[in-house]
A and B are shown apart, each in its own frame.
Chain A
Amino acid sequence: MPKKVAYKAQIEHLQILDENGKLDEKLAKGTLTDKQVLALCEHIILCRHYDEIAFKLQRSGRMGTYPQNKGQEAIAATAMAVTRNDWMVPCYRENSALFLHGLPMEHILLHWMGDERGNQIPEDVNVMPISIPIGTHMLHAMGIAWAKKLQKTDHVALTYFGDGATSEGDFHEAMNFATVMKAPCVFICQNNQWAISVPREKQMASETVAQKGLAYGADCIQVDGNDVFAVYKATKDAVAKARKGEGVTLIETLTYRMGDHTTADDARRYRDSKELEAWAKRDPLLRIQKYLAAKGMWDDKKEKAAEAGAKERVAQIVKNCENIAKPSTDDIFDYTFATLPDDLRAQRDSMRTNSLSLEPGQSTLRSPEPQHA
């Protein structure tokens, strides 16, 4: 008997705004308005400045390790494709999306400064804390999505992760669960080509990350991850599908980590500078600036103003973070169980007399709440 083809598939790559700022008008229909693009442009400038300052804070010993987001800010467009009811379950290179989704910008700095309060997300912001064990959070996104489905809402959970994270079993289990249970979940892999010093080719033998989702029956697409239009459109479509209960999407955004892995790393030791230069030309910010300039919506003056605004804003954020009162030792006991058990209460009280702790009166988190972005 002749062999039959049991399964056939291909992965589409979507680009709408090219490196020169040229837009594919047809594909762009119904995506971002010029006003939204302008807002994204200013937002990316703000985020990039924030990133730079965070890096400097670390260098001057005012912050712990920090993973730079530079070059990957087009991911912010995913936030424009959802509503505030939808959930974001992040790893650590999607600051720009989290901020647009309502996370006060202080939180990320506070987190990397080594303060649990960075993870105390305001009630009305649907963002989960940053997950340090790689990949484990994808299961949570799937779980949130499933809970949302059981609650009969039409809310969607988006989860973000790196190319390296797709090597963890958690990725595969999360994809399998989500598709089998038709959970309203969107998986967004920021393929920035590197996992610390390991390039994509050594991380996986598959040509794309997107194709990994095919095995689980997800809809899969690869997009130019430095193109806000493509990122937006893919997310919008995926979210719409998820909302209607029509299945799971895996979006691979092809992008590049312009900085080091974290401040504990020096990427020049393992990365070719030519690669970096080539990707610099595909910078997400550059191309929207070109696009807007061609429409008469962007010029040097606007850029200067945006930068000045970002500087001022970030300076205030840093101040808010650095001026927050030190956390009280009470916190470590108060937040271990929902109800404080007696033995921990005793420990807490004895710690108050310990020279390292603060005044007993300064209990829990009564410090000023960070301002909403």
Chain B
Amino acid sequence: MTAATTNGDRTIQFREALREAMTEEMRQDERIFLLGEEVAEYNGAYKVSQGMLDEFGPNRIIDSPISENGFAGLGIAAAMYGLRPIIEFMSWSFSLVAADQILNNAPKMLYMSGGQWGCPIVFRGNDGAGGQLGSTHSWCVEALFANVPGLKIAIPSDPYDAKGLLKTAIRDEDPVFFLESERMLSDKGHVPEEEYTVPFGKAALRREGSDCTLVSFGRPVHFCQEACDILEGDGITCDLLDMRTVRPLDSESIVESLKKTNRIVVVDQSWPFASVASEVISQVCEKAFDWLDAPPKRVNSDDVPAPYAKNLEAAFLPHAEKIVTTVRSIVR
């Protein structure tokens, strides 16, 4: 683990922040275990769980056979029986072979047992384009999964939130889908020494401006930052809201910002059709239609499978240039 610098300005990697969240929670709560492919001996396919086997031993840091459906189901039942599983998918793309367990079982247990069997479980892994991994290995699952009632989805954009949100996820009584990005695991950011959590359903205002509200979550928050830099050159300033969780969704903060800027662009790495961006815009129309001075807009990945070639993947993502063009189209 990274040694602390002076209190207050310690920076660590995204992956270290995730590890700290799990490690600290595991020290406090014996019910927690981590299960997934390559999490133990190998220290995690992306080194998120580095050193955790040494500290917690093989009963709590558990390498799984290549059976996503199997270990998701195992985790769900263990959660129902009082344990607190953290299930790591190497990639959310591979959670699709466990779809029945994670979508048809975990989020419905409480409901179908009339409140008897809760399912406090965390599923976590890499989401979105990892950098030329091809369409079957580059899934953004948030749009697909956010449709399901009974589950929560957290999607941090920096190390501080990664740690704070993961702690909240582990303590949560419901199934939480925790979406990381392998493109951000090495990102560094400030993470304080002392204990903290980040609550679900509270967006963070990353930038303040007056011309447009940008709403985003996860990696595209960084695309928005880039776009804001460019737009400021034109004298266009934006509020940038990082949603942190898409379920629950902090629509209050969105509406509040919109009332100031009267324009909104949602930036979302999923495909546009029936996406979280679509949901945000529906809610905005329902709750604050009169405050809109321009049509609300979405910037998503293109409506095609994630391309494999470098230039095509870059073109496909909701990158800064697309965001800039979209903002310009509604801010005159």
Contacts and interface: CB of A to CB of B under 8 A. Distances in A.
Contact of B63 (A198, A269, A343, A344): A198
B70 interface: yes
Interface stretch (B93-101, B140-148, B184-192): B93-101
A327 interface: yes
Interface stretch (A133-141, A177-185, A303-311): A133-141
Contacts of A358: 311
A132 B307 contact: no
Interface in A194-214: 195-198, 202-204
Nearest to A326: B311
A270 B97 CA distance: 28
A64 B93 contact: no
B132 interface: yes
A333 B67 CA distance: 34
B69 interface: yes
Contacts of A204: 65
Interface string B262-304: 0000000000000000000000000000000000000000111
A332 B67 contact: no
Interface string B90-120: 0001101100000000000000000000000
B180 interface: no
A142 B85 CA distance: 35
Contact of B136 (A115, A132, A203, A332): A132
A246 B250 CA distance: 61
Contact of B66 (A165, A331, A347): A165
A356 B69 contact: no
A136 B308 contact: no
Contact of A343 (B133, B137, B303, B307): B303
Interface stretch (B18-26, B37-45, B217-225): B37-45
B150 interface: no
A351 B308 CA distance: 17
Most buried by B among A131, A135, A196, A355: A196
Contacts of B304: 332-333, 336, 344
Interface of B: 37-38, 41-42, 45, 63, 65-70, 93-94, 96-97, 132-134, 136-137, 302-305, 307-316, 321
Interface of A: 64, 114-116, 131-136, 164-165, 167-170, 195-198, 202-204, 269-270, 326-327, 329, 331-333, 336, 343-344, 347, 351, 354-358
